[in-house]
Structure 1
Amino acid sequence: MKNNLSKTITFWAALSTVIGLVIGSGVFFMPQQIFKATGGAPGLGIFAWILGGIITIAAGLTATEISALFPETGGMMVYMREIYGEKLSYLTAWMQTILYFPSVIAALSILFAEQACIVINCPNLKIPIAIGIIIFIVILNLFGSKTGGFVQIISTVGKLIPIVLIIAFGFINNKHASNIMTPFLGHNLSFASVLGQVLVATLFAYDGWIYVGNIAGEMKNPKKDLPIAIIGGLMIIMAVYIAINIAFILVVPAKDLAANSTPASLVAQKLFGNVGAQVINIGILISILGTLNGYILTAPRVPFVLANNRLLPFSKIFSKVNKKNVPANATWLIAILAMLYALSGQFSLLSNLSIFTIWIFYSLIFIGVFKLRKERPEIDRPYKVIGYPIIPLIAILGGLFVTINQLFMSGLKTSIIALGGLIITLVGIPLYHYMLKRKNFKY
């Protein structure tokens, strides 16, 4: 299927989209969750950032073989169609449209609102700010994917400034250089149990890289630029995550980071005083803003492709593009769902709801590398995953770990949320058959 979207996105916009989608709230908020799980011990926490980065890079290297083969607008749904067929492709797109993208955008908007309320001291305006920031970024992106890509570059540079300052001054002014990896784990804690918690947390922080594939159909040279953007972006992200967490520990003991809900602000206050803490809060706002922009830039391409194939209710509406060749109605669909989810005000609920199902589909894509090499060896592969088959196996094991951990090893509440996400996803099966029958159209 041809799309009507302009090919205006450059390599640098794609690279900044990868970085912008991944580096958002996690780099600032996850250290507290991780070091709390380790009992205030830094060693296992730093190890988890390294291991999570290795798994994510393995995932990126693996999925890039698929994304380079099929550089079409739609991303994951295109990959699933080529690997497994129409039904799983539709299920992927349905899950992303109705659950994953709106939930993530809503969760990020809530974090943005919470940080904004700290900066301007307005705790009662959290929900209006969350909804307002979604509307603001949607309007920006309606001016065209080139505008959205430009915003992504600017916000990515803006978010890296406070990160670089913390890393640089943290390494210069360190007070705890001997305690980066010791103790490795707190007393009376199970290594296996804690590793599961902290690794899942780091993988959450690394999530988002695959969605640059959603705009592949609008890239000027996707077969060349897309693999480099994904792999290069992930390597930069891993280096940043490890460096900033070491910088945190050099300035503030891990046990103090574990006790503070805004560890980055705590470190900034130690390094730069109260003014510095406020600067970091603004940096966090810029960071979340960039991540929100990345998701709102890429997410609407999924329902847009569904609507173009007449497999979405009200397809005539959602398949339209505006004068800037942006799928405006599909953008508003995602945005309205996100605003409804944001009314809950619950970041953890929204993030947990989305992450379980998305990793199931990630794993299927990783497995798809083996399937395609066996069934379609004649395809010209502009990029082949290095270290085959070891690297894809690492990615698959990482994906299985996330889904099994969420379903069976993270407590009853997390299991219920995971099952809820699965049920919402499976609703797409009867809808798929209904849309086929109603339209009498073969996908």
Structure 2
Amino acid sequence: MSNELKKTLGLSAALSTVVGMVIGSGVFFKPQAIYTSTNGGPGLGIIAWVLGGIITVTAGLTAAEISAAIPKTGGMMVYIEEIYGEKLGFLTGWMQTVLFFPGTVAALAVVFAQQVAELMGYSSTQMSIVLPVAIGVILLIALINTVGSSLGGTIQTIATICKLVPLILIITFGFIKGNGNPIIEPLVGPGVSVGGALGSVLIATLFAYDGWINVGAIAGEMKEPGKDLPRAIVGGLSIVMAVYIIINIAYLWVVPAAELKTATAPAALVANSIFGPIGGKIITVGILISVFGALNGYLLTGPRVPYALATIGILPGSKIFEKLNKGGSPSNSIWLIAILASLYALSGQFNLLTDLTVFIIWVFYVFTFIGVIKLRKDKPELERPYKVPLYPIIPLIAITGGLFVIVNQLITSTLIAVGGILITLIGLPVYSVTSKNRINK
């Protein structure tokens, strides 16, 4: 029996995969962070959704060349190892294990718990309700994924439907029932400069667009990746960008930016304004199911990184984390991510956690984009089923966008950025010890 992936995916299947992987929780919750950064000015927020989309399209097109050229399981960690060596590859996996995946899971769990608290009639800031619910949902989903993957797959299907329903309803009825509030003017509110706020609003939108790195993983299953992969990326991410821009205009059409900046769940506030309290709660339940699905997706895929590191013996406790249970799940690695996520969730801070994870993941995204150029020079003979169009312009736009986000965060959110870097750099002495132990065995 051949272990090769069957080439069955056409353009339409690839398009729906892209859209499904990217649309998650950010579009429902990030307007608060955006309009807080602009101090209630709507215009820069809409511009940020456009710029974030353009950066994401160029990022997806660039990273897909590496995905198609290095068709190995493991994603970005494997790409970086192939291009730069095992140490940087380990550091990528370490960052994803101790920071990106648990941090993202924690952020989603916190915002899930805040919405549950509000549905129950409590304040979203009441930590005695929020923290137990956040940790509880993390442990529940970890348990589901430990038991088996079939239930997890069912959850993903239901969640995909449930995240589209609130989007469609808010867009449709928002424009019918909205008040017609300002959309573009002013760009920012009083006391805020466009340059000063741009980095913060971009970080917020890039969280909503995250997931594009997985797009290249479908290259091996596509009938004509060279032709259809760029179409799927540009087409799929353009659809996502259009949906994000339209629904954010709909939000503003119903509720002014000055009010959205005070709402932990802007989509729920808008739904409540359109459909009344009962209708708003129904929409909120749909959003909750969507967030639950996103949580499930991250706890399904994230543990594969520490498992992969453990199988080659370079993760502390490798013998523990390389084990699979009877159902074939890396159960110990799942619980590793879940426990770390529970600790991060104790912060109770959705926006802080997402800012931290977006900053650090983009550091490694930029390494990946530069890797495309490096591979072209170092291995010109490498078979490339797909090549990034308009080379080197597209990779350079992706690199420039990424560097802007990184530098801006270092300047405007220094503590968060430095914290992310330090946690990541702890991986260097860890690698030094574990690699020596592996050699000595």
CA contact (8 A) 2:162 2:287 kept: no
Match of 2:192 in 1: 189
Amino acid at match of 1:116: V
Structure 2 gap ranges (5+): none
1:19-78 Cα shifts (integer Å, max 9, x gaps)? 555433321222122223333232221111111111111111111111122232211110
Distance 1:284 1:102 in 2: 21
Match of 2:130 in 1: 126
Distance 1:281 1:106 in 2: 20
Distance 2:218 2:147 in 1: 19
Amino acid at match of 1:330: S
Distance 2:315 2:6 in 1: 27
Q: Does 1:153 align with 2:157?
A: yes
Q: Which moved more, 1:33-42 or 1:372-381?
A: 33-42
Match of 1:379 in 2: 382
CA contact (8 A) 2:7 2:223 kept: no
Q: 1:324 to 1:93 in 2, by over 3 A?
A: same
User: Aligned-pair distance for 1:9?
Assistant: 12
Match of 1:425 in 2: 424
Out of 298, 303, 314, the position equivalent to 2:301 is 298
Secondary structure, aligned partner of 1:311 = coil
Identity within the alignment, %: 57
Match of 1:338 in 2: 341
User: Aligned-pair distance for 1:299?
Assistant: 0.6
Secondary structure, aligned partner of 2:28 = helix
Counterparts of residues 133-152 of structure 1 (less than 5 Å) = 133-145=137-149, 147-152=151-156
Matched residue count: 431
CA contact (8 A) 2:48 2:201 kept: yes
CA contact (8 A) 2:206 2:358 kept: no
Amino acid at match of 1:423: L
Amino acid at match of 1:431: V
User: Aligned-pair distance for 1:7?
Assistant: 7.1
Distance 2:352 2:37 in 1: 19
CA contact (8 A) 2:21 2:212 kept: yes
- Aligned-residue Cα RMSD (Å) equals 2.9
CA contact (8 A) 1:69 1:223 kept: no
Q: Does 1:388 align with 2:391?
A: yes
Counterparts of residues 9-158 of structure 1 (less than 5 Å) = 19=19, 22-121=22-121, 123=126, 124-145=128-149, 147-158=151-162
Distance 1:256 1:128 in 2: 28
Secondary structure, aligned partner of 2:30 = helix
CA contact (8 A) 2:200 2:409 kept: no
Out of 311, 319, 330, the position equivalent to 2:314 is 311
Amino acid at match of 1:308: T
Distance 1:167 1:9 in 2: 36
Distance 2:52 2:103 in 1: 23
CA contact (8 A) 1:104 1:350 kept: yes
User: Aligned-pair distance for 1:385?
Assistant: 1.2
CA contact (8 A) 2:62 2:369 kept: yes
Match of 1:325 in 2: 328
CA contact (8 A) 1:10 1:220 kept: yes
Q: Does 1:203 align with 2:206?
A: yes
Distance 1:19 1:392 in 2: 22
Match of 1:435 in 2: 434
CA contact (8 A) 1:103 1:351 kept: yes
Distance 2:23 2:390 in 1: 27
1:293-323 Cα shifts (integer Å, max 9, x gaps)? 1111111111111111111122222222233
User: Aligned-pair distance for 1:280?
Assistant: 2.3
Distance 1:118 1:49 in 2: 27
CA contact (8 A) 1:407 1:418 kept: yes
Q: Does 1:237 align with 2:245?
A: no
Distance 2:117 2:68 in 1: 42
Distance 2:5 2:343 in 1: 32
User: Aligned-pair distance for 1:416?
Assistant: 1.5
Out of 265, 280, 283, the position equivalent to 2:283 is 280
Distance 2:301 2:17 in 1: 9
Q: Which moved more, 1:122-131 or 1:271-280?
A: 122-131
Distance 1:356 1:71 in 2: 26
Out of 159, 163, 173, the position equivalent to 2:167 is 163
1:143-180 Cα shifts (integer Å, max 9, x gaps)? 54455344223211111101110011112334317x32
Q: 1:8 to 1:320 in 2, by over 3 A?
A: farther
Distance 1:280 1:30 in 2: 17
Q: 1:188 to 1:328 in 2, by over 3 A?
A: closer
Distance 1:390 1:209 in 2: 19
User: Aligned-pair distance for 1:141?
Assistant: 2.5
